[in-house]
Amino acid sequence: MNLENISNNKSFGGWHKQYTHQSEVLNCAMRFAIFLPPKVNEGHKVPVLYWLSGLTCTDENFMQKAGAQRIAAELGIAIVAPDTSPRGEDVANDEGYDLGQGAGFYVNATQAPWAAHFKMYDYILDELPNLIEANFPVTSQRAISGHSMGGHGALMIGLKNQSRFSSISAFSPITNPTQCPWGEKAFTAYLGDNKQAWAEYDSVELLKAGKPSLPILVDQGSEDGFLAEQLKPENLIAAAKSVDAECELRMQAGYDHSYYFIASFIEDHLRFHHQHLNAK
């Protein structure tokens, strides 16, 4: 694949870089960011944490606001942050912020007009890791994390592909998208009316279907304005308990849905993933 490097910034002895490439899966140009820790300068390959962002975000939100580079540099972990959806003049869109460009929901759309481009599940699971592992000094060890819609993506993709990851974490995830307005709108548009197809992308339903082998860490702010209607972490924990899964929910008093919250606890998540990357 033809990678074009569009920016470079030195950070904590490592490098934050942005690239564009033509995605065969999404049938459009895509952008991603990667942080490479200083360990790669010494000739070492490093494991990768894939970070999935939320509604309206791009690769830039996490890399600029979360403050993850210092700990990633210390631990020797690369971070890859893709965009949240396909984009471009020929890509279908919607007037709402919660559908279309910026709101891919990490599913493979089956309905027109979305099916032509919106295959974010395949992009995150296969095309992007293959691209990263072919072009950067990284190992095949992977962890996955995300926020809000991206937290949904991290939980769902990790649960569906447990042999591909060492651990899963999420901030303020949409845990049960088949039972909340954001998910119902997106899944109806992308997947149609078949509720069985919806369940294949719902982390609560995936947990109920069988005990995961991966450890899961979830942080949720108690003052998150989306908590009751959209996020429903209690459903995730109930499903995890029903199959005796290793899933820790930490309710953080006073925190909201913002990157102030993420920045406050990102070190914990990186150390959590480092522990399990090393154990695998």
Say whether 197 sits in a helix, a strand or coil: helix
Whole-number Å distance between alpha carbons of 159 and 180: 20
* Mean pLDDT of the region 212-223: 96
Catalytic residue among 224, 269, 274, 276: 224
Q: Is 148 part of the annotated catalytic residue set?
A: yes
* Mean pLDDT of the region 229-251: 97
Mean pLDDT of the chain: 97
Whether the pTM exceeds 0.75: the reply is yes
Pick the CATH number of 3-278 from 1.10.3720.10, 3.30.70.1170, 3.40.50.1820, 1.10.150.120: 3.40.50.1820
Residue 210 has pLDDT above 90, yes or no: no
Q: Is 268 part of the annotated catalytic residue set?
A: no
Residue 190 has pLDDT above 90, yes or no: yes
Catalytic residue among 117, 257, 269, 276: 257
Catalytic residue among 11, 53, 148, 172: 148
Q: Is 257 part of the annotated catalytic residue set?
A: yes
The residues, ordered by sequence, that sit 6+ positions from 80 with a Cβ below 8 Å of its Cβ are: 32, 33, 34, 48, 49, 50, 51, 128, 132
pLDDT band at 2 (very low <50, low <70, confident <90, very high): confident
Residue matched to tokens 């390959």: 45
* Percent share of the chain, pLDDT over 90: 96
Supply 215's token pair. Answer: 């450890």
Domain definitions of the chain by residue range: 3-278
Residue 212 has pLDDT above 90, yes or no: no
- Residue 91 near residue 117 (C-beta atoms within 8 A): yes
pLDDT band at 153 (very low <50, low <70, confident <90, very high): very high
- Residue 82 near residue 174 (C-beta atoms within 8 A): no
